[in-house]
Structure 1
């Protein structure tokens, strides 16, 4: 039990601590990956946070944005022209899946030769499909990528991947959740699911070198990252505490979320292999963007590991 003098000094320290200013964070609000930020904002961060639709590009189109979040493909795309970009945290890693229609003669990955695969061109979705199918000798010329739309819950629109799979406009879907799971449910017993460990989306939080060099702004970002670490512990250990709120935030339902939750690695960290992953992946992004791929020496400054280390120290105190 704290004595009255200890309570006095603890209260005084809190009163003297500089108040946290407002943070502005830009995410694609139609993906599950951003939702640990919501729980961090509502349950663990002591300052003010606004979360708006956008992503890493918002850091350069809107100076009031402090943090942008996207997959690693979009991080690479922006870093190519903005060398002051810094990733400070991998918030979520997602092992994408492919669902295919067995009625179309698909029993193994090799059977996707000559098939139509629903995916988003020039994104982590298409890159994942390429990486996985290369493991069975299939190159992009051996199948057709068909663009469409994501779906968050039934009923899915006619131009979304689950509905396209159901009516036979495509033979398979390869991307993030929950569109893949909705595709599974759309064709029922005809669905075959290809799980994998070749590729995982690395969903990152990024800011700029200038914001990291600003002591006040850095302190705010450190505090918010510390709050994300706490939120991710709940996502990983006790997801039932947050599933309903996450479902409401992205406009889906909790039953569907429970199906896809295990595909996500809810662990706030900086992967040791992130530069290796991006070095290989940038060959794809560079080709899509008609530029030269970046070297390791160019890519290494993109990853800032100091901010997470500071956030973890803050958690210890």
Structure 2
């Protein structure tokens, strides 16, 4: 190789590395429906050379890997990571999902006198969930509305399911076989739990005031303080807003792609789609939710809750404001 060829090779390599380095990297759990707008945004609004890289994970990855720029996750996990990584920031709400809880009405009450039909009837019963997740917090919060503390029932841990027949140790399987009397979790596992029992043998509870998942887009202070990276993040959010409008108003356009991404059939998606709110923004009560929920996370993680003033640092509205201003300018 001549010196000229060598220099040319280094130049090409530098260009390739620069091309890769300017691509956003996004971390999210790739098996949840809520992450799909991130995938569609990446595919539909970026060229092959600039398309963001999406890796499996969530906020736990963005706080431990400096190559990751954005992350999708529920607010429970953001609170868990913020306790030790105070540079984490919430930028935008991708989906809000009031979880549901299903009970097997043919199970007997604790005294064995009648079939269960209410949340209060779950006293002494076995309630399925997934530990240290938004589902676990939902179950505890919902049952508190019926006067049940977390020691008044047995929490039984099971797994997710995306398509029937659900396998051993998944929550729908356990409900159908009487291993649990009820369970609460995100979709589509909950819907498959309903379908796992005969018609008329289930009752479903949902209370947005008790809990709704607030699945957000996150970054870090370090990324946002970098002018070039911040510009890329604002650009991505602009396109994400456009995609969420499709998810909200014309979901039939993205059913097939969502089905392919998370292995959930279109008929199931059609049943559960409206459980999800894709309208975006940042909820006006977000800080209130974080403050109350952090008490639970702190107890589970064995730490003191963060103050309201500290939790304010977790929310960054400036990226949303910049993206909305740019969208408005483009439309005018």
Q: TM-score, normalised by structure 1?
A: 0.92
Report the counterpart of residue 57 of structure 2 in structure 1.
54
1:80 aligns with 2:83: yes
**In structure 2, how many angstroms separate the alpha carbons of the residues matched to 1:78 and 1:62?**
13
Is contact 2:59–2:73 with CA below 8 Å preserved after alignment? Answer: yes
1:28 maps to: 29
Aligned counterparts of 2:264 and 2:62: Cα–Cα separation in 1: 28
**Unmatched 5+ stretches in structure 2:** 1-18, 108-114
SS at match of 1:302: coil
CA distances 1:143-189 after superposition (whole Å, capped 9, x unpaired): 11101100011121111000011111111110100000000000032
- Which of residues 182, 193, 201 is equivalent to 2:192? 182
Match of 2:121 among 111, 119, 134: 111
State the SS of the aligned residue for 1:246.
Answer: helix
User: What is the CA-CA distance between 1:126 and the residue it aligns to?
Assistant: 1.1
Q: Is the 8 A contact 1:44 1:230 kept in 2?
A: no
SS of residue in 2 equivalent to 1:174: strand
Partners of 2:206 and 2:79 in 1: CA distance: 25
Choose 1 or 2 for highest CA Rg. Answer: 2
Structure 1, 190-199 or 180-189: larger mean CA deviation: 190-199
User: Which residue of structure 2 aligns with residue 212 of structure 1?
Assistant: 224
Q: Which residue of 1 aligns with 2:139?
A: 129
Q: Please, which runs of 5 or more residues in structure 1 have no aligned partner? A: 1-18
Residue from 289, 292, 295 that aligns with 1:277: 289
Matched residue, 1:89: 92
Q: State the TM-score, normalizing by the size of structure 2.
A: 0.88
SS at match of 1:140: coil
Instruction: Provide the rounded CA distance (Å) in 2 between the counterparts of 1:68 and 1:142.
Output: 36
Equivalent in the alignment of 1:145: 155
- Residue 45 of structure 1: how far off its partner (Å): 4.1
Residue matched to 1:100 = 103
SS of aligned partner of 2:296: helix
Give per-residue Cα distances to partners, 1:29-54, cap 9 Å, x unaligned.
Answer: 11111011111112234542111101
Give the conservation status (yes or no) of the 8 Å contact 1:59–1:65.
Answer: yes
- Corresponding residue SS for 1:203: strand
- Matches of 2:131 and 2:204 in 1, distance apart? 21
Q: Is the 8 A contact 1:99 1:192 kept in 2?
A: yes
Say whether 1:313 aligns with 2:329.
no
Q: For the residues of structure 1 that align with 2:221 and 2:67, how far apart are their CA atoms? A: 15
- Retained in 1: the 8 A contact 2:63–2:81? no
List, as ranges, runs of 4+ consecutive aligned residues in structure 1 with deviation greater than 2 Å.
44-47
- Aligned partners of 1:233 and 1:227: how far apart in 2? 10
Determine if contact 1:44/1:231 at 8 Å carries over to the other structure: no
**Aligned equivalents of 1:21 and 1:71: distance in 2?**
27
Structure 1 residue 243 displacement after superposition: 0.6
Alignment of 1:2-41 (within 5 A): 21-41=22-42
